[in-house]
Structures are given as structure tokens and as C-alpha cells.
Amino acid sequence: MKVPIADLRSEIGAVKTVQSQVLLADLAAELCESAPEGVLHVKVTVTNTGAGFVVNGHIQGAVQMVCARCLEHFLCPVETDFQVLYRRQPVTDPERWAKGHEETNEQEDDVYFQGDVLDVAPAIWEHLLLALPMKPLCREDCLGLCPVCGQRCEDGDCGCDVENVDPRLAVLKDIME
């Protein structure tokens, strides 16, 4: 997702808002090998602060994930906000600039750009990954899989005698089979 900022350049305090529907596959195309399916609604507000362009973003959407308990694919809702400062990278004397840049205490999150377009895709991707659950569950109370036969408990009673099975034995039984 790219945001042109030529129209904000001349006036400090100038603001604009851009909204876009982003397919995860398109977003991730340049950033990683493969991406899960999903659609995001992204709204970014760009402000010329003089020091750079502050992007305040809001991400809302759904990403296909695998439930950690029952291993089913499901659409995981996601919603998060982010803020990134884009600083213009001086084109003259980049070596000297790089040196000076190391010595200043700028924020780690700051991004450097050239030209008149901000590429906000990496920021969206990064903050999306942070917002996704480490242990995704299709439902908070997902019953998972039967420890005996491996059937999804959501699919009904498989008739297994779950009460009397030591989970360690169940694993052994799987191996034997």
C-alpha cells in the first residue's frame, strides 16, 4: 500500500486520510514467501510534522489461521493500531548522513524514505503479525480433538472412552497403530 505525499509536502500540519482494502496476499507479496489468506481494511492518516510524516494506521480484518486445538482453518478477526514516523532520507552525502544518523537518538521505529510516496506495506505487515494470536483458537472454548481417535469434538460424540485414557497412553496407542 503506497501513499503519495507530494500534496502534503509544502505545509507543516497538512493532513490526509487514505482508506484501502488490502488482500493479505498482495500485501505480503514483496515481504515474505507466502502469506495466509485474508482481507484487511486499512485506514491511514498522514500528517506532515515538519520532522517527517507521521502515519497513524488502523487495521481491521480477518486472517485465515489454524486452530491450535482442533487444527481446523478458521478466519481469525484482527484489529490493531500503529504509528510510524517516516523521515526523509537526504540524498546528498549519504555516508555523512548515515554517520550522523547513528549518533542521534531517533526512534527505532522510524522509517526512512525518498521521493514522494510512503510505502506503508511493511508497517502494516509488521503490526498485523504482532496483533495475531500466538495460540489461535477457532473459538475461545474450542473442545479440540478427541485424545483417543483424533476426531474433532465439535463434530459430535465419537463414543471413545476419554475418561479412562491416560494421554501418554493415547500417544503410545497412536504410534502402535
Q: Where are the alpha helices (DSSP H) in the chain?
A: 24-28, 94-103, 121-131, 167-176
CB of 110 to Zn ion, least distance (A): 40
How far is 21 from 19, CA to CA, in rounded Å? Answer: 7
Shortest distance in whole angstroms from residue 62 CB to Zn ion: 16
d(CA 78, CA 56): 17
CB of 75 to Zn ion, least distance (A): 12
Q: Minimum Å distance from CB 129 to Zn ion?
A: 21
The answer to whether residues 52 and 107 touch, using CB atoms and an 8 Å cutoff, is no
- Residues of the chain by 3-state class (helix, strand, coil), percent to 5: 25, 35, 40
Q: Which of 149, 169, 171, 172 binds Zn ion (CB under 5 A)?
A: 149
Could you say which of 35, 65, 84, 148 contacts Zn ion (CB under 5 A)?
A: 148
**14 belongs to the binding site for Zn ion (CB under 5 A):** no
Residue 14 backbone phi and psi in degrees, to 5: -65, 140
* Binding span for Zn ion by CB under 5 A among 37-45, 54-62, 97-105, 130-138: 130-138
In the numeric block, the cell 488502523 is attached to 58
165 touches Zn ion by CB under 5 A: no
Binders of Zn ion among residues 65 to 124 (CB under 5 A) are 67, 69-70
In the complex, which residues of this chain contact Zn ion (CB under 5 A)? 67, 69-70, 138, 142, 146, 148-149, 151, 158, 160
